[in-house]
Amino acid sequence: MPGRRLGVAPVVTDALAAAPAPELDVEPQIRSRHSTLALLALAAGGFAIGTTEFVTMGLLPEVAQGVHVDIPTAGHIVSAYAAGVVVGAPVLATLGSRMPRKRLLLWLMGALAVANGLSALAGSYGLLMLARFLSGVPHGAYFGVGSLVAASLVPAHRRTWAVSMMLTGLTVANIVGVPLTTRLGQTYGWQWPYAAVAVIALVTVLAIWRWVPFCPPDGGRSMRSELSALKRPQVWLALGIGTVGFGGMFATFSYISPTMTDLGGFARSTVPLILALYGVGMTAGAMLAGPVSRIGLLRGIMVALLAIAALLFAFGPAVQASQALALVVVFLLGLLPSVMVPMLQTRLMDVAHDGQALAAALNHSTLNIANALGAWIGSLVLAAGLGYDWPSRVGGILAVLGLGIAAWSAALQRRTSL
């Protein structure tokens, strides 16, 4: 569509009078503004999901007391959410492959609202486990489909940036959503944060309905074409990087609240501020993902994993050394994995070819397998009486294994490109 023509000032010479009026094409500006609003709407969903995913970790002692279990057992509530993501992501992404993407996003956010409402009403450990499992079901499919929608809103060279902007909702949740809802839970009861997330999810439904453009399903893709991604070795290697490499981070972060209070000597009242600092690190990491990806997606992933491994090996001693150093490593614990996630998401979309929606959703399945794996390993270490400085040490080993998988992927890529 041609741009709007703007008039010029009165002229004083024939030459100026004969000159054509300058044109200003406003359509790209309009498209850019609409794309920004759509990305913000998608990020709002990430904010709701990030808040509900991480708030349980900050309230683990309160939740354990509320449902009458010990803290290691309450750690399985974190794993229940992760299990919901693992199951829901591939199932919903595949079944929804023929559904318009905007409609699918609306249904996923509605389901998140209902499941968090059930979490707030759960009165026993068993019911809370079920409600948290259901809360996790929409997670992976939302980020998988949302990543494809976000990438479609911008030119090809800005895809990693658009995906990272959508994921910024997840990181901002850790600056604002998780600390505020943690304080809410500490003050009024652990059920209230889940009720707050249900309200945020309903607001997100309205934002997506208003600002995200209609996104028809790809007519050339079907359930079979989505499943074709599973035939590609590079897809499985990328999923392995997420599962193993991130398991170490979650082994550490799942128990961040008692680690900082028991190991670092912080007061319980400071936990929301510590979680906010972690969120600041996540946001900074998401912003850095685009620039880091310029060295190459796989190379950037390997650099991030190396840094994560070094951090996790140093985490326990740093927390014990001083509170100032403890805050530094908490910030880095948020930053380094957040640099890696958008790059891993974009790589999966690249290597999946016709199975992009399933692969993008599976990325979040694997990250939550990592969540469940990390929380489980952490519970084993703590149950063995090794102390809160040990989960991060085991986590460092997992990060090194993830780096090995990334190196395997790079070697395979070099061989197939010859």
- Within 8 A by CB and 6+ apart from 308, the residues are 245, 248, 249, 336, 337, 340, 399
Could you read off the pLDDT of 30-88 as tens digits, one per residue?
456 678 888 999 999 999 999 998 888 878 888 988 888 888 788 788 888 988 988 88
CB 124 within 8 A of CB 345: no
Q: How much is the pLDDT for 378? A: 85
Tokens 């910024």 belong to residue: 168
Q: How much is the pLDDT for 23? A: 40
Amino acid (one-letter) located at 361:
A
First-to-final CA distance of the chain = 45
Q: How much is the pLDDT for 27? A: 44
Q: How much is the pLDDT for 26? A: 36
At how many degrees (to 10) do helices 27-58 and 159-172 cross?
A: 40
Transcribe 330-396 into DSSP letters.
HHHHHHHHHHHHHHHHHHHHHHHGGGHHHHHHHHHHHHHHHHHHHHHHHHHHHHTT--TTHHHHHHH
CB 131 within 8 A of CB 122: yes
Q: What's this model's pTM, rounded to 2 decimal places?
A: 0.70
Q: How much is the pLDDT for 223? A: 66
Q: How much is the pLDDT for 258? A: 85
> Is residue 330 packed enough to be buried (19+ CB in 10 Å), middle (13-18) or exposed (0-12)?
buried
Q: Which domains does the chain have, with CATH numbers?
A: 30-417 (1.20.1250.20)
Q: State which residues of the chain have pLDDT below 70.
A: 1-33, 216-223, 225-226, 228, 354, 417-418
Q: How much is the pLDDT for 91? A: 86
